[in-house]
Amino acid sequence: IVGIQIAPSILSADFANLESEVDRLGDADLVHVDVMDNHFVPNLTLGLPVVEAILARTERRVDCHLMIDEPDRWAAGYAEAGAHNVTFHAEAAAAPVRLARELRRHGARAGVGLKPATPVEQFEDLLPEIDMLLVMTVEPGFGGQRFLDVCLPKIRRARELVTRSGMDIWIQVDGGVSDETIERCADAGADVFVAGSAVYGAEDAAAAVEDLRRLAAG
């Protein structure tokens, strides 16, 4: 069990200067990279070539959040490239068990993401196959949205299911996580916190990471 981890999302970084943007994250545990395809979500960001370029320029662990259709076809490439975590969306995967196994076989931690309206109970059978459950706390697609409080019971439920399973599965929250909302997320049972605008919108990104960590620790 690793404990609290802070994962700044480069979605809110300067895309023309990704190397220095990743550099200035201080003691962040992971770098969260949002891959969007204009189909699964109404926004387009970056894909495998950019993730490979980031991996080549940093020692940090890269956490890929794939908001894409047909992850069964594309996700393994990110694991092969050396991402630490690869998260695909439950709503988009045709064969989630097979895909999670493939990710692990390539040496990545396998994550499954759930949009706000997707119930966690539906995916309880998947737990033995995965290393992280991502509970979205906004509709995926854009940074800087307002945290959806209605998702808090789902984080609690996810924590119950993970505890009951006895497995070492991280529970990640993503969307609207800030100094105003992170304590509620931690209290509900999350342990990996994605923050885009809260980190890159701050004057000192590394200090923002430590503030979030302190608040999450309670």
- Which 55-74 positions form the footprint of ligand DX5 (CB under 6 A)? 65
63 in catalytic set: no
> Angle at which helices 48-57 and 71-81 pack, to 10 degrees?
20
Query: Toward Zn ion, which CB reaches closer, 34 or 37?
Result: 34
Helix 71-81 to helix 96-105 angle, to the nearest 10 degrees? 10
CB 14 to ligand DX5: min, Å: 14
152 binds ligand DX5 (CB under 6 A): no
Is residue 115 a contact point for ligand DX5 (CB under 6 A)? Answer: no
Beta carbons within 10 angstroms of residue 121's beta carbon: 10
Residue type present at position 144: G
- Select from Zn ion, ligand DX5, none the partner in contact with residue 145, using the beta carbon and a kind-dependent cut-off of 5 to 8 Å: ligand DX5
Stretch in the footprint of ligand DX5 (CB under 6 A) among 73-81, 82-90, 142-150, 209-217:
142-150
In the annotated binding site, the residues are: 9, 32, 34, 65, 141-144, 174-176, 196-197
96 binds, among ligand DX5, Zn ion, none (CB under 5 to 8 A by kind): none
DSSP 105-165: HTTPEEEEEE-TTS-SGGGGGGGGG-SEEEEESS-TT-SSPPP-GGGHHHHHHHHHHHHHH
* Residue 198 site contact among Zn ion, ligand DX5, none (CB < 5 to 8 Å, cut-off depends on kind): ligand DX5
Q: Which of 88, 184, 72 is nearest to 132 (CA)?
A: 88
Q: Which residue's beta carbon is nearest to the bound Zn ion?
A: 65
* 131 flagged as catalytic: no
5, 191 contact by CB (below 8 A):
yes
Three-state DSSP class for 63? strand
Considering the candidates 29, 34, 37, 211, report the single residue annotated as catalytic.
34
Of 68-76, 90-98, 124-132, 190-198, the window that binds ligand DX5 (rule: CB under 6 A) is: 190-198
Q: Which residues are catalytic?
A: 34, 174
Give the residues lining the site for Zn ion (CB under 5 A).
34, 65, 174
